[in-house]
Amino acid sequence: MKLAALVAAASVPLLAAGAAPARAPAAAPETPDPQQPKLALFLFNLSDFLGDVKGSFQRVAYDRAHAEAYVWGGRDIQVFGGSGMQIYSFGSAQGLHSVYSIAPLPSGDLIVSQIGPSGPEIVRCNYRGEVTGPFTPTALPPGVTLGYDEIRYADGKLWFLTQGAYRVVATDEDGRYLFTRDLTKAISAGMEADQEPDTSEVEITGFDVDEQGNVLVTIAAQFRAISVSPDGVGHPFGGKGSRPGKFNVAGPIARDERGYYFVADTLRSVVMVFAPDLKFLFEFGGRGETPGHLVIPSSIAVGNGMVFVSQARNRGVSVFRLQ
């Protein structure tokens, strides 16, 4: 990937090749939301009885149905309740290894990808975190495999991202193959005509899936976020810049159940909030040591009006409430 192509991708009108102009993703609310958030109030850091739980570059998932946050950064996974206190932990004692991603299911089961003794694997755990067996996909077409880099449960499906292939595979909760979403076209939209994105250079930095089945990615090298609707069309937003609404280094992304997007800029250490129509609303955090500030936000989870942000510098996970 030539730098010129990357810059071009970020600066041209953000259109998919041959596609309609960028528009709000499918199923976005059409009327103004009277409860539209205007700020994010810092509440606390996730804690245990000894105080703030420290950690760097932890990953966080939020189970909206049970109002529980899962935080992990290795073999041990911590579960936090609605008050931000740790209520449970599991991991190596339950047979887990180096965990990459966790997707909580409505049933309470967990789908976990990890690096086991013999390489990457995906396993199913019960609500106690005990490994109950491998997660074995069925009816996969030839050549299709489940990615283990990121797993999400959304829109009643499990979504598996293969980082190096711009591909998301969806299955049902039992592992039955449903479809593959190729992100290549959406990611290459706006790039020079003869340029195909080089997956080794144009890395998917942030990933999420919303309840309408839109796949959300950020591409730091392109300075933008993209919402890829079920029809495969990409809706990019952001763009290169240091001011609010733009990205210096686009990081993790998430979308809440009301349709609001949350995208971190890891350089400025802020989380930006975008409306369902992709219009920038406000940002919060900002680099700093004091409560409410952030240092390199590395993972975001949202739901029930809460935003969970993990950070670098051993700062753990900060929790904000939308107002």
Partner 1 sequence: MGDCDGCHTMHGKDGSPARPFLMASTDPSSTCLVCHSGMSPATGHVFSTNVGGPPDNYTPAGDYAWLLRSYTWTGPGGGVVVSAGERHGHSVVAYDFNLPSDTTYTTAPGGTYPSASLSCISCHDPHGRYRVRSDGSFASSGDPIVASGTYGNNPALPPTTQTYGAYRLLAGRGYQPRSLSGALSFPNDPPVAIAPPAYNHSEALTDVRVAYGSGMSEWCANCHGALHTPAVTGTSPYLHPSGARAQLGREASIYNAYVRTGDLSGTWATGYTSMVPYEEGTTDRALLASHASSNGSYRIGPSGTENVMCLSCHRAHASGWDHALRWNVGADYIVASGQWPGVDSVGAGAKPEIAQGRTRADTRAAMYDRDPSAYASFQTSLCNKCHAK
Region from 11-19, 35-43, 133-141, 281-289 binding partner 1, contact rule CB under 8 A:
281-289
Of 64, 66, 258, 293, the residue at the interface with partner 1 (CB under 8 A) is 293
Of 172, 182, 201, 257, the residue at the interface with partner 1 (CB under 8 A) is 201
Q: Does 248 bind partner 1 (CB under 8 A)?
A: yes
Number of residues in contact with partner 1 under rule CB under 8 A: 40
Following DSSP, what letter does each residue of 236-297 receive, concatenated? EEE-B-SSTTSBSSEEEEEE-TTS-EEEEETTTTEEEEE-TTS-EEEEEE-B-SSTT-BSS-
Main-chain dihedrals φ then ψ at residue 162, nearest 5 degrees:
-105, 105
Of 4, 287, 291, 323, the residue at the interface with partner 1 (CB under 8 A) is 287
Q: Which is nearer to partner 1, 232 or 244 (CB)?
A: 244
Region from 55-63, 177-185, 228-236, 301-309 binding partner 1, contact rule CB under 8 A:
55-63
For 175, left (φ over 0), alpha (ψ -120 to 50), or beta? left
Q: Does 179 bind partner 1 (CB under 8 A)?
A: no
Listed in sequence order, the DSSP H helices in the chain are 3-11, 184-188
Q: Which is nearer to partner 1, 73 or 259 (CB)?
A: 73
End-to-end Cα separation, the chain, in angstroms: 41
Main-chain dihedrals φ then ψ at residue 295, nearest 5 degrees:
-130, 105
Using only C-alpha atoms, what is the Rg of the chain? Answer: 19
Of 82, 156, 288, 291, the residue at the interface with partner 1 (CB under 8 A) is 288
Q: Does 195 bind partner 1 (CB under 8 A)?
A: no
Of 29, 195, 312, 321, the residue at the interface with partner 1 (CB under 8 A) is 312
Q: In what order do the strands lie in the sheet with 40-45?
A: 40-45, 317-322, 306-310, 299-303
- Whole-number Å distance between alpha carbons of 321 and 323: 6
- Interacting residue ranges for partner 1, rule: CB under 8 A: 3, 55-59, 72-75, 97-100, 115, 117, 149, 163, 200-201, 203, 205, 220, 240, 242, 248-249, 266-268, 286-288, 293, 295-296, 298, 312-314
